[in-house]
Structure 1
Amino acid sequence: MRHVRGRVSRRRGAATVELSICLPLFITILFGSIEASNLIYLRESLCLASYEAARQAVSLDASKKDIEKRAKQLLSSRGIDNPTITFSPDDTTNASGGEPVTVTVSVPASSQTLLPKVIYGQRTITAQTSFVKE
């Protein structure tokens, strides 16, 4: 019986060593998955904002300021701040029928992530949508 107790205590030590080796790996995978999901959510939010802004730019005689306001409103409701919104052509109200109108929405990846800014550096997440002016 004494021999069995010794075996259990040695096994308990092995489990501690296994946990100390595997736990950092599991935590890294967990945070990596969370960060990847966060970037996918960011990209999809930018796609939605560029789509809505481009749709408004071609179907209504909305000013550039109104279109930017709509895109920023969508992004701020999703927790995304300080996007860069560009238009091509620059003045969408003067675009002629049949001319493509492109809206590009971008945001620095480092401003929207949980990881330190050093990891992403100057990378920018961008979404672009084009419609033909009616």
Structure 2
Amino acid sequence: MYRRTSQQVKVPPRCGLAAVEFALSLPLLMILIFGSIEASNAIFLRQAMTITAFETAQIASSVGGTEAEAKLRGNELLTTFNIQDATIDIQPSIDSTIARGTPMRVEITAPSKANSIGPAWFLKEIMYKRVFTMYRL
């Protein structure tokens, strides 16, 4: 039988190095992952607001279109896209005296804090604003 001596079993001096590297790189990796998710969410939010502004302006500028119908459609789209605390502003106010060819400006604003997926410290207090102008038919 052979007996092992303490000289035969040597513990390498790097036995805890992997754990230390993992502990140091994990926070950076998590910030990168959550930052990517929040950036993707911000891109989606801006695109959804652009689509909503276009659809709202299209209804507001159409023949016989009213401000109430346009805002109703805009709010339906905002609900569909799950955009919270957004506001829709149409300038000038639509009434029967609006002449053809008048530019109709639709502005949609939404806060990033209410529409964030992750912790609110990535995108603090940013107000997204999308504007679309279409001429009255």
Q: TM-score range by the shorter chain?
A: 0.7 to 0.9
1:81-106 Cα offsets, whole Å, 9 max, x none, are: 23211111122653211111110111
Could you list the per-position Cα deviations for residues 62-83 of structure 1 after superposition, in whole angstroms to 9, with x for gaps in the alignment? 2211111101101101111232
Aligned residue in 2 for 1:83: 86
**CA distance in 2: counterparts of 1:39 and 1:27, whole angstroms:** 18
Q: Percent of aligned pairs with the same residue?
A: 26
State the TM-score, normalizing by the size of structure 2: 0.85
Cα distance in 2 for partners of 1:76, 1:12 equals 54
For residue 120 of structure 1, what is the aligned residue in structure 2?
Answer: 124
2:114 match: secondary structure: helix
What pairs up with 1:2-21 in 2 under 5 angstroms?
2-3=9-10, 6-7=11-12, 10-21=13-24
In 2 relative to 1, CA 93–67 (structure 1 residues): closer, same or farther, beyond 3 Å? Answer: farther
Query: Counterparts of 1:59 and 1:92 in 2: how far apart (Å)?
Result: 12
Q: For 2:109, what is the secondary structure of its paired residue? A: strand
Q: What are the residue-to-residue correspondences of 1:25-64 with 2, within 5 Å?
A: 25-64=28-67
Is 1:99 paired with 2:98? no
DSSP 3-state at the match of 1:24:
helix
Where 2:107 maps in the other structure, the secondary structure is strand
CA contact 1:35–1:115 (8 Å) conserved in 2:
no
Structure 2 unaligned blocks of 5 or more: 1-7
Judge conservation of contact 2:99–2:136 (CA < 8 Å) in 1: yes
Write the deviation string for residues 22-56 of structure 1: whole angstroms up to 9, x where unpaired: 01000001001111111111111110000000011
Report Cα offsets for 1:100-127 as digits up to 9, x if no partner.
Answer: 1110111111111122269513x31111
Query: Runs ≥4 in structure 1, deviation > 4 angstroms?
Result: none
Whole-angstrom distance in 2 between the partners of 1:117 and 1:93: 47
Gaps of 5+ in 1: none
Provide the C-alpha distance between the structure 2 equivalents of 1:12 and 1:89, rounded to a whole number of angstroms.
71
Work out the number of aligned pairs and report it.
129
Give the helix-richer structure, 1 or 2: 1
